[in-house]
């Protein structure tokens, strides 16, 4: 009989735990796995909505909103060349999600991660019309970067984003491969030291390595 009791207990446990926090973990896990398979802007927007639903249902977790915004930032990078994609609207949504995440995040390191999203939102808005938007959105992107580094000097994603910004800035404007290279190197050493727990962000290592290779 013992095994039956075990089985019943197991099933009840499954039911119970599903209703509780493992349900959250499972949902997050399954949605996070969709990041790699999302191929279109619409896929990413749908994924973002799914994270928002998790966040709205949980009410206390900052990560769902963070990933909802991250999905939109990926959509934003995909949409830079598209005329129909509303870049300002997308960035506005990202910032709204950042506000929600920021209200729930307590640790400085978590807030630093949110700065990375704000940096990307501002950068994407700047790229709509760099010449006339550099002063506003360029400054906003830079400020988000500085603030994120201050909140967590060991956040590799801040250095990855700084590296990207330098990489895409012409040499005569203080950017270029030579300037970006040490920053990517620093990012990678920080990525190597990073030991993310739970659903804390861990993206960017692969991209940083690819970019570093381009700097050689």
Partner 1 sequence: MKKQAILTATLLLITSFIYAQTIIKGTVKDNHNHPLAGASITLKDTYDGATSDSLGYFHFGTTEKGAHVISITSLGYKEYIQNVTLGSEPIVIETSLKEQLDELKAVTVTAGSFAAGDNKRGTVLSSLDVATTAGSNADITAALRTLPGTQQIGEQEGLFVRGGAGYEAKQYIDGTLVNNPYYSSVPDIASRGRFSPFLFKGTVFSTGGYSALYGQALSSVVLLESIDLPEKSEIDASVSPLVVGAGTQQLAKDKKSSWGFSYDYVNVGLYFSLVKQTPDYFRLPQFHNADANFRFKTKSGGMIKYYTTFAQSNLGIRRPDVDSSYLKDAFALKNINWYNNLSWRENLNNGWRMNLGASYSTNTDNIFQQVQDQNNQPKQFSPYTYWMNYKDFTIDSRQDLTQLKAVFEKKLGGISTLRVGSEYWYNYNKFTYNDTLRKLIDNYTATFAEASIYLTNEIAAQIGARFEYSSVINKTDVAPRISLAYKTGKDAQVSLAYGEFYQKPENNQLLYSTNVGFTKATHYIINYQKMNTLRIFRVEAYYKTYADLIKTIPIGYNYFNYNNSGKGYARGVDVFFRDKKTIKNLDYWISYSYVDTKRNYLNYTSELQPNYAATHTASLVTKRFFQDLKMGVNLTYTFATGRPYYNFMVDNAGKYFLQDQGKTKPYNALNFSAEWVPSVGKPNAKTFIVLFASVTNVLGYNAVYGYNYSYNGLYKQPIEPPAKRFYFIGCFLSWGVDRSQDAINNNL
Binding site for partner 1 (CB under 8 A): 3-4, 7-8, 11, 14-15, 23, 27, 42, 45-46, 49-50, 52-54, 56-57, 89, 92-93, 128-129, 131-132, 135-136, 139, 142-143, 146-147, 150-151, 169-170, 172-175
Identify which of residues 89 and 198 has a Cβ nearer to partner 1 in the complex.
89
Kindly state the smallest distance separating residue 84's Cβ from partner 1, in Å: 9
Q: How far is the CB of 43 from partner 1 (least distance, A)?
A: 9
Smallest distance, partner 1 to C-beta of residue 169, A: 7
Counting other chains too, the contacts that 92-100 makes at CB distance below 8 Å and 24 or more residues apart are 93/48, 93/69, 94/69, 94/118, 94/120, 94/121, 95/121, 97/48, 97/52, 97/65, 97/66, 97/68, 97/69, 97/72, 98/65, 98/66, 98/69, 100/55, 100/62, 100/65
Task: Give 16 or 189: the residue with its C-beta nearer to partner 1.
Answer: 16
Q: How far is the CB of 212 from partner 1 (least distance, A)?
A: 22
Q: Which is nearer to partner 1, 3 or 198 (CB)?
A: 3
Of 186 and 205, which CB lies nearer to partner 1 in the complex structure?
Answer: 186
Minimum CB distance to partner 1 smaller for 23 or for 186 = 23
Q: Provide the 8-state DSSP code for 129.
A: S
What Cα–Cα distance (Å) separates residue 52 from each residue in 47, 48, 95?
Answer: 9, 6, 13
Report d(CA 179, CA 186) in Å as an integer. 12
């Amino acid at each position: 009989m013992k095994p039956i009791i075990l089985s019943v207990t197991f099933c009840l446990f499954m039911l119970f735990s599903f209703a509780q926090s493992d349900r959250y973990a499972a949902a997050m896990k399954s949605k996070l796995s969709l990041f790699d398979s999302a191929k279109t802007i619409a896929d990413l927007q749908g994924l973002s909505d799914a994270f928002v639903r998790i966040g709205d249902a949980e009410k206390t977790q900052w990560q769902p909103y963070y990933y909802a915004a991250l999905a939109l930032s990926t959509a934003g990078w995909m949409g830079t060349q598209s005329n129909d994609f509303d870049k300002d609207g997308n960035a506005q949504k990202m910032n709204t999600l950042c506000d929600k995440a920021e209200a729930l995040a307590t640790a400085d390191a978590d807030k630093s991660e949110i700065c990375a999203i704000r940096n990307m939102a501002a950068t994407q808005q700047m790229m709509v019309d760099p010449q006339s938007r550099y002063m506003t959105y360029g400054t906003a992107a830079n400020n988000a970067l500085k603030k994120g580094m201050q909140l967590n000097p060991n956040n590799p994603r801040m250095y990855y984003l700084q590296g990207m910004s330098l990489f895409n800035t012409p040499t005569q404007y203080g950017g270029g491969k030579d300037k970006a290279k040490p920053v990517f190197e620093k990012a990678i050493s920080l990525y190597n030291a990073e030991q993310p727990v739970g659903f804390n962000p861990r993206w960017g290592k692969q991209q940083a390595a690819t970019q570093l290779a381009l700097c050689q």
